[in-house]
A = this chain, B = another copy of it.
Amino acid sequence: MSLDLATIRAAHARIRPHIKRTSVLTNGALDAALGAQLYLKCENLQAAGAFKSRGACNAVFSLTEAEAAHGVVTHSSGNHAAALARAARLRGIAAHIVMPQGSPQAKIRNVESFGGRITFCEPGLSAREAACAEIAARTGAMLVHPFDDYRVMAGQGTAALELLEDVSGLDIILCPVGGGGLLCGTAVAAKSLQPGIRVIGVEPALADDVAQSFRAGTRVSISTPATIADGLRTNSTGEKNLPLIRQYVDDIVTVSEAGIVAAMRELWDQLHLIVEPSAAVPYAALQENKFTFAGKNIGLILSGGNVDLEKLPWLKP
């Protein structure tokens, strides 16, 4: 199995009863400021507040009865966790969730609200993976990796599928990059449907492991990134992700922390949407002029909206 348009279409058919077809918004003020036409795919309004519901539902509803019997397990900074807990509840199976200490309260509450069984661990991939492996061995739960999994990538690609159905004539699609699940799904969907489109991933400069890996041609690991974009604090992209990224993605650009905060604020001021820092990362690339886009039609995936309002970074504490 790999990832192609057929598996993304199959994922869409499989998950359609369980997810929302999210709105695509436009905004004249943003367009005027950028000198381009922006189409925002509002996955911040997706079930459980992020695109992660797509991949999690596809993985959970792809399991055979025997595979599903002992539930699922994953590690996640939060949105994949909530999405997997929700998908498992929809299927009536258990979800074991390994989360790093210090995850935002909004994300913890989110997991709990869907009945996920949380185990906290130290930050960093090795601690997460060890905790996951222990739970899988003890319970028989199936691992649903947050990004290094073709079923998950196929689910994430359905957001771009919908966006390209709803908006014709897109020149560029932008999405944030953490582990690369959304980017792989988006790139394979977009390039398969419209080979001339450009697909650009955007990473915080503080978490630029995928940008480095993309250029090096081999997976580069970094220490746990301190970026405000808590959804993108991955150490490394996945084994299955990097070849797809190298094949289908045109470029990976990086943005500053101040740019991420400014982008969040601008999206609130102009669009009246609160998005989480990770979701503001692609817009920051436009504000920071990280590539040429004048006059283009740009699709942008607003990846999630799970944020603690008490901690909005541009407000005084």
CB distance from A52 to the nearest CB of B (A): 14
Residue of B nearest to A46 (CB): B272
Q: Would you give the 0/1 interface string for A259-280, flagging 1 where the beta carbon is closer than 8 Å to chain B?
A: 0000000001001111000000
**A275-B45 Cα distance, complex, nearest whole Å:** 14
Residue of B nearest to A18 (CB): B28
Q: Which of B26, B49, B274 contacts A274 (CB 8 A)?
A: B274
How many copies of this chain does the complex contain? 2
Residues of chain B within 8 A (CB-CB) of A309 are: 268, 309, 312, 315
Interface residues of A in 289-317 (CB under 8 A from B): 305-306, 309-310, 312, 315-316
Residue of B nearest to A276 (CB): B272
CB distance from A64 to the nearest CB of B (A): 26
Q: Which of B28, B44, B271, B312 contacts A272 (CB 8 A)?
A: B44
Residues of chain B within 8 A (CB-CB) of A20 are: 26
Q: Would you give the 0/1 interface string for A123-165, flagging 1 where the beta carbon is closer than 8 Å to chain B?
A: 0000000000000000000000000000000000000000000
Residue A47 at the B interface, CB < 8 A? yes
A25 touches B28 (CB 8 A): no
Interface residues of A in 9-25 (CB under 8 A from B): 20, 23, 25
A315 touches B305 (CB 8 A): no
Residues of chain B within 8 A (CB-CB) of A274 are: 268, 272, 274
Residues of chain B within 8 A (CB-CB) of A306 are: 272
Residues of chain B within 8 A (CB-CB) of A45 are: 25, 271-273
Residues of chain B within 8 A (CB-CB) of A28 are: 47
B315 touches A310 (CB 8 A): yes
B23 touches A305 (CB 8 A): no
Q: Which of B23, B268, B315, B316 contacts A23 (CB 8 A)?
A: B23
Residues of chain B within 8 A (CB-CB) of A273 are: 45, 273
Residues of chain B within 8 A (CB-CB) of A315 are: 309-310
**A47-B305 Cα distance, complex, nearest whole Å:** 21
CB distance from A197 to the nearest CB of B (A): 24
**A274-B307 Cα distance, complex, nearest whole Å:** 12
Residues of chain B within 8 A (CB-CB) of A25 are: 23, 45
Residues of chain B within 8 A (CB-CB) of A271 are: 45
**A268-B316 Cα distance, complex, nearest whole Å:** 20
Residues of chain B within 8 A (CB-CB) of A310 are: 315-316
A49 touches B272 (CB 8 A): yes
Contacts A23-B23, A272-B274, A272-B306 aside, 17 further interface pairs with beta carbons under 8 A come to A20-B26, A23-B25, A28-B47, A44-B272, A45-B271, A45-B272, A45-B273, A49-B272, A268-B274, A268-B309, A272-B305, A273-B273, A309-B309, A309-B312, A309-B315, A310-B315, A310-B316
Pairs of residues from A and B, 5 with the lowest C-beta to C-beta distance, nearest first: A272-B305, A23-B23, A49-B272, A274-B274, A44-B272
Query: Which residues of A does B touch, CB under 8 Å?
Result: 20, 23, 25-26, 28, 44-45, 47, 49, 268, 271-274, 305-306, 309-310, 312, 315-316
